[in-house]
Structure 1
Amino acid sequence: MTVKLSILPVYSEVHPDSKHQIGSVRLLKHQVETLAAFNDPNIDVIFNVAMTGDGKSLAAYLPAFQKQKNIIAMYPTNELVQDQHRALPRYEQDLQIRLPRYGTMYSDKITQLMRENDNKARLEEARKLLERNGILLTNPDLIHLMMSHQYGWDHQRKELPVTIGAYFDYFLFDEFHIFGVPQVISVMNMLGYLNVNYHDKPADRKKFVFLSATPSKLMNDLLESGGLRYKKIEGNYLSTEQQGYRCILQPCELELHEVSQEAPTEMWVLEHLQDILSFFKQHPQSKAAILVYSVATARRLYACLKEYFKPHNITVGENTGLTHPDERRASFEKHVLVGTSTVDIGVDFRINYLIFEAYNAGSFLQRFGRLGRHTGYSIYHAHALLPRFVLERLILKLGTLGEIERKTFNEAIREAFPVEAEFKSYTQLWGVVQAAQVLAELQSQSKKDANEAFTGALSSQYDLFYGAQTQPVMTKALKKYWAIRNKQPEILAELSSFRGLSPLSCGVWDTDNHLQTYDLFFLLTNTEFEVLSAAEFMQEVKRQGLEERDYKDQLLYLKIIKYVPERQQLILGLPFAVADYAARLHTVQVLDNFFVREPSFTGRDQVNRVLKTKSLTCILSDMGRKELKQRLNLPTMFPIQRLQDKTGAEYAVAFGQEALLLDSLLFWRKTKGDQAMFL
């Protein structure tokens, strides 16, 4: 089943007043509106939801460029941090402005500065970056640690939040739509902290700018409950050329194809290699991208395409979480890039031919939005690979329309994909404990300074966010926090991190001789490897001149022999009958003694000896993986593993932050006697 559509170009409205210009660049309407919202004392939070390619980044930087406001700009990947940092000189040149000192801040950068300055204190190097840069690009993980008093030791933890508030006027969160409920809660805690700290200093109140798709209902509700005022800003678009409008997206030919488990994306691409080659022969200057979800699929496709296209002088690059950073950067210069989600939220690059799979509306729009952003090609062509039911819904919605406006098409995509679980109960079950962690850190410092008043005010702010007017929640949340901290600190560690921990992270010596870290479960299902000693691995780290700190304390150290052609089945085990402990179902807990039942491989005993010692935050269910995902509308890529207990009985298990999210959906399924019942 295939549908062919012609997606019309997109023109964005330029602001009608010619005075809104920087250098030779006339500002778009939504960019001017973003700056006006920033200048409005009655607005705290700004959501710019303009289309991909419509200059949202410039809109967000306007207060820094025109008003000399200091900004912390947060990006979801360090690669994007570096890319945006490289773009700043271009702003200076194009806009004919002079920027203040600007820089980047992330773990490797701090380590590098420590080495250069012979300084053993990470906090000191971080503080210098905060104090010396008017524009500082970083990631939200690091700012979360600082603002929640988790960066540094003892009394030092309170210093960086003060520094951040004193030196910066506003905060930018880019690509925020990719984050889930736990990250929304972490950011709301940060907003609440800064709102309380500057509540009585209106001239110094902080502003927050989010660049994303439509903000989640959860965030809107929390902002309204907490008394923070927000404004959503959209672009104004046409599909035909008209005076006062600027073209931001080129017209595209789009083909929608069906894929399934029996005929997956990888098979489709391999069956259409000749078509891809024909496109390059007809359009010799073309650049292409093939975007999939699985790192293993991307690696296999990369190897196959590289070999297939080599005689035709068509170069192929790989861009995945396992690709070395140097090769990821080089992949953007190849004729064909094969990548995963690292490209979805990665740097901007030029293509006119795109093949991609999509399991949800957000991913579809993100990937399809990569095409048509750059001029210079005679044709822009895309192939989208979708489940049959999504394709059928699109046909019902769009009929056999030949031409369609991008905005109409985007709306159809949002309606065609199923609505995924929103984890609404997470806020009350676990989000309040994330907030309680900040309060507990402040309370522990109250003995050393006089911040009781601030702690009380912040607790009241969090009550507004997460409770009801007549029902404060933070007192109870603090009790829960201390109970978890005393009895199950592993759960608290998951709650306190921005994106969750990686307790099963392994040191990996890859087939291309590069060293990195990656998740054990992926390696078990997609590679053959040998287990190394920590000493052997660290010797290679030293030989390659890498930072030892980045590879310490990994679960295992593995040398990959090869990537397997087909994904292997993973089944975990527990050495007891889960049915004998029925109360352990559908509740978050910390368990050890997990081991690998399947696949069978050389070195499995070595892996299991280590894995059994690891205490892991998890949740068990007597529903199968497929049933869980269908009943609860879980995202397709939500990580749930198969598990068999001592008796061979089948269960599903999720770990880490996903266990906490799943818990928020399973509260209605309680256990009575030896039977689970639905309430």
Structure 2
Amino acid sequence: MSDSTPLNVQLKGLGLRKYPSDSYPVDGVTPHRHQWALHDALTTGVSGAFVNDAPTGAGKTLSWLAPTISEGLDTVAVYPTNALIEDQRKNIELMLDDIDGGDDVHLLAVSSDTLQDEYATDYPAESNGEILSYLLRDAFQRSETVILLTNPDIFVLLRRRIYHNRTDGINFFEVAVVDEFHRATRKEQNTLLFLLDEMQDADTEICRLSYLVFLSATPDEELAGRFEEAVSAPYYPLTGFGWRETPHPAMAADDQPAIAFAPGQLPTAYRPVLPPLELRLQPATTFQTASRLAEQREETIDQLSQGRTVLMLDGLHEVDEIYRLLQDSELGTIERIDGFHRADIADKLNRFDTLVSNAAVEVGVDFDTDQVLFSAHSAATFFQRLGRLRTRKETSKAYAYIPPYVYKQLQSEINAYGNEWINRERFEGLVEQHYVDNSTPKSFDWRYSTVEAYHHVEERVENTPSDEAGLIRKEGWKRIERHFCRPHGTVFSKQDAKRCHDSVQTKILDALQMYRGDSLQLTVYDPDQQVVQNYNLTYLLRHGDIQLLERDDFLTRVPDRLGDDVSRVERYSIGYCIYYGTYDGDGTEGDDEYTGRDLCFKPTGDLYSLLNRGKRQTREPKVCTGLEVETSPDIDGLDQLKIELSETEVLCYPIEGHVSEVSKQYSIGEFGFVYPLLHPEGDTATIAFSHDALYLYCRVQDQQEADGLDIEVSEL
């Protein structure tokens, strides 16, 4: 068999049983077992951490929404993206009329955009935090049930009183719902879980939070262990029969809550959640799926013509390449949704025949499609994107482009099944075992999350009466041990934590208090889409057809009506540019396959000193200035950006070695984001930024400790 011959798999669909009862508080809905389980938990006073791992399309939103509204439980729901917040607001507004108590709900959707655009006129204030403070104060003065939809960044800022030091509205919520928790990075999971546990464990007179609800794909063994061991409240996975020893009266104890079904085999008592699939697996390295599709253009168009199709690719430049490739085809209405094409999403989803996108539609956005075509650089991405095909019992099609090493290892195993229909659970296990795990190193827990939590506890102590300080420290340290030390068997005392905390640069401590790390961004005006936004600097320098400008020149190019948008986003950027699309090369002969500019950074000043201060064994990440950038070919206006960038403080970690060597040595993967650094002495070096700098440092330290252990063993 050729190394590129497609592997064909037939996957069974998944159906969930319906359990009718007049007591469910939603008109016209016959709930599933997971919906009954969470309904019972939130209506019978069982405090705990509940994980709903029902598949996409199974009604996870309704599972928490119906009981919180019918019981009048004030709820904060945390979503990973602002687009998902808006999508969920629309979905919830449509559900309210059918839910008992739905006419007595005060629904808020809060992001930095809505605070500036939607709420600023009603609550004039000097900052977003102050607007939100007033917004929550007024909400809790009403007699209605408060439902707040927001992102984790704002939630963390509220809890730590960084957003506005007088905001205590976050402590009035009784239920916290976290969506897509499994998709967060390790640092993000650590931050959110620690703060939620702290809130739920507090006296109800201080914080009313009693229920933690996580909406997630099936937690892996480690994540389930963290729910079980780290969180103070009992952990209840809502799989199987739910949290109750005795099932709800509406459910028969000996029923199957879910079944796998082949075409034509779904009983009427079950609702289809995931359809039977004809899945085709093909090899493609990360960020190269678009090139594969372009090479096989006729075959690609033939595949896309088989039905309404959604493509999910890794890079925005891939989206651009395929979108242009399909323009002169006969595929009907072709739409795109990505970081630069986010307007009119609802209309695009209604009218597309072929939708070209990236991670922008990977979660949350609802669409109906006959088939999907996607790339998958990780097992989590594979099943997330595959799961976007749902709620139909007819056979659907999917085309997956996976790393060549995974494809090669799957060949014999997949072919052994022949024409047999395979259960999804069995197939998932088969795929997961072959992907290399490039996740954040576990040592991040005690190297940095412990320090972050220690700093948070000490900040609380400084802002509390002296007679309560001792108890806050004592409870805080116990929580730190549960979350970050005990799961790894790490011997780490309070004195160790204090010593590590005191040795970490203050600016890194400040960065750790945020949910997400800072990124290098440019303020961008896209004249085609008529929008202003911030976007990743390194992407724009490599793949953007851009013109870099000074601020005054930039403002002359932007329509006056977008002036407020510039003011809102420019505080988080280091420069300005006009974006004309994807850069295709300089037009020289032989440049047909050019995929971007060469990009490298140069160290000067503080960064130069950091790079030359010892070797990897002693160097640590640092917030410093002195970063310069070079591109080939050059970009108009780059000299101005060099000045701004060299004076910008950046959390970074430089190490010796070429990017490819560093990536391979420390199993970073294509989404680790490390970049070439031109060492002044001519040696090759690599640099990582923000939280990626901390992750790389952990990997380097882990390997050095492992090498040291090997030496000790050999000496014995």
Question: TM-score scaled by structure 2?
Answer: 0.84
The counterpart of 1:515, out of the listed 527, 532, 547, is 532
1:61 aligns with 2:81: no
1:417 aligns with 2:435: yes
SS in 2 for 1:544: helix
Farther off after superposition, 556-565 or 121-130: 121-130
- The structural deviation recorded for 1:257 is 1.2
Residues 597 and 633, structure 2, Cα contact 8 Å, conserved in 1 = no
Residues 485 and 492, structure 2, Cα contact 8 Å, conserved in 1 = yes
The counterpart of 2:645, out of the listed 607, 611, 617, is 611
Farther off after superposition, 435-444 or 70-79: 435-444
1:628 aligns with 2:698: no
Distance 1:222 1:664 in 2: 24
Counterpart in 2 of 1:230? 235
- The structural deviation recorded for 1:42 is 5.7
Counterpart in 1 of 2:377? 359
In the TM superposition, what are the counterparts of 1:31-42 in structure 2 within 5 Å? 31-39=35-43
In the TM superposition, what are the counterparts of 1:45-194 in structure 2 within 5 Å? 45-95=49-99, 98-99=102-103, 100-112=105-117, 113-131=119-137, 132=139, 134-152=146-164, 157=165, 159-160=166-167, 162-166=168-172, 168-194=173-199
> Structure 1 residues 473 and 314 mapped into 2: Cα distance closer, same or farther (>3 Å)?
farther
1:567 aligns with 2:596: yes
1:597 aligns with 2:630: yes
Distance 1:328 1:294 in 2: 22
1:595 counterpart letter in structure 2: E
Kindly provide the CA deviation profile for residues 313-366 of structure 1, in whole angstroms up to 9, marking residues without a partner as x: 712222112224346863553221111111112411111121111011100101
Kindly provide the CA deviation profile for residues 197-243 of structure 1, in whole angstroms up to 9, marking residues without a partner as x: 227899x5511011112335156336514533211122632123235
> Structure 1 residues 470 and 412 mapped into 2: Cα distance closer, same or farther (>3 Å)?
closer
Kindly provide the CA deviation profile for residues 46-82 of structure 1, in whole angstroms up to 9, marking residues without a partner as x: 1111122211221122321332211111111111111
Residues 304 and 331, structure 2, Cα contact 8 Å, conserved in 1 = no
1:652 counterpart letter in structure 2: T
Farther off after superposition, 449-458 or 136-145: 449-458
Residues 601 and 629, structure 2, Cα contact 8 Å, conserved in 1 = yes
1:257 aligns with 2:257: no
The counterpart of 1:372, out of the listed 375, 378, 390, is 390
Kindly provide the CA deviation profile for residues 637-662 of structure 1, in whole angstroms up to 9, marking residues without a partner as x: 11111112012211121110111122
SS in 2 for 1:665: helix
2:476 counterpart letter in structure 1: L
The counterpart of 1:343, out of the listed 361, 377, 387, is 361
Counterpart in 2 of 1:477? 497
> Structure 1 residues 384 and 107 mapped into 2: Cα distance closer, same or farther (>3 Å)?
same
Farther off after superposition, 177-186 or 115-124: 115-124
> Structure 1 residues 449 and 622 mapped into 2: Cα distance closer, same or farther (>3 Å)?
same
Kindly provide the CA deviation profile for residues 230-281 of structure 1, in whole angstroms up to 9, marking residues without a partner as x: 11122632123235322222222211112247x9311222244434544566
> Structure 1 residues 422 and 528 mapped into 2: Cα distance closer, same or farther (>3 Å)?
closer
SS in 2 for 1:101: strand
Distance 1:599 1:592 in 2: 23
Distance 2:702 2:129 in 1: 44
> Structure 1 residues 344 and 606 mapped into 2: Cα distance closer, same or farther (>3 Å)?
same
1:274 counterpart letter in structure 2: E
Counterpart in 1 of 2:588? none
Residues 531 and 558, structure 1, Cα contact 8 Å, conserved in 2 = yes
> Structure 1 residues 607 and 205 mapped into 2: Cα distance closer, same or farther (>3 Å)?
closer
Farther off after superposition, 406-415 or 448-457: 448-457
Distance 2:60 2:299 in 1: 35
In the TM superposition, what are the counterparts of 1:12-51 in structure 2 within 5 Å? 12-15=16-19, 19-20=23-24, 22-39=26-43, 43-51=47-55
The counterpart of 2:688, out of the listed 622, 646, 654, is 654
The counterpart of 1:663, out of the listed 681, 697, 704, is 697
Distance 1:189 1:467 in 2: 13
Distance 2:622 2:206 in 1: 44
1:581 aligns with 2:604: no
Kindly provide the CA deviation profile for residues 146-187 of structure 1, in whole angstroms up to 9, marking residues without a partner as x: 1122111xxxx2x43x32222x11100011111011111111
1:582 counterpart letter in structure 2: G
2:369 counterpart letter in structure 1: I
2:17 counterpart letter in structure 1: E
Distance 1:331 1:638 in 2: 31
Kindly provide the CA deviation profile for residues 357-390 of structure 1, in whole angstroms up to 9, marking residues without a partner as x: 1011100101011113357xx6522111112221
Counterpart in 1 of 2:462? 444
The counterpart of 1:246, out of the listed 258, 271, 282, is 271
1:594 counterpart letter in structure 2: L
Residues 318 and 328, structure 1, Cα contact 8 Å, conserved in 2 = no
Residues 601 and 678, structure 2, Cα contact 8 Å, conserved in 1 = yes
SS in 1 for 2:699: coil
SS in 1 for 2:339: coil
Number of aligned positions between the proteins? 654
Distance 1:201 1:40 in 2: 22
Question: TM-score scaled by structure 1?
Answer: 0.88
1:267 aligns with 2:300: no
Counterpart in 2 of 1:294? 315
Counterpart in 1 of 2:541? 524
Distance 1:470 1:631 in 2: 25
Residues 298 and 338, structure 1, Cα contact 8 Å, conserved in 2 = yes
Distance 1:418 1:483 in 2: 34
Distance 2:437 2:612 in 1: 36
Runs of 5+ consecutive residues of structure 1 not aligned to the other structure:
none
SS in 2 for 1:123: helix
> Structure 1 residues 543 and 71 mapped into 2: Cα distance closer, same or farther (>3 Å)?
closer
Distance 2:313 2:129 in 1: 38
Distance 1:491 1:465 in 2: 21
Residues 197 and 454, structure 1, Cα contact 8 Å, conserved in 2 = no
> Structure 1 residues 250 and 95 mapped into 2: Cα distance closer, same or farther (>3 Å)?
farther
Distance 1:584 1:533 in 2: 38
Kindly provide the CA deviation profile for residues 397-422 of structure 1, in whole angstroms up to 9, marking residues without a partner as x: 33243222223222222223223334
Distance 1:332 1:93 in 2: 24
Counterpart in 2 of 1:547? 565
Counterpart in 2 of 1:387? 403
Residues 230 and 479, structure 2, Cα contact 8 Å, conserved in 1 = no
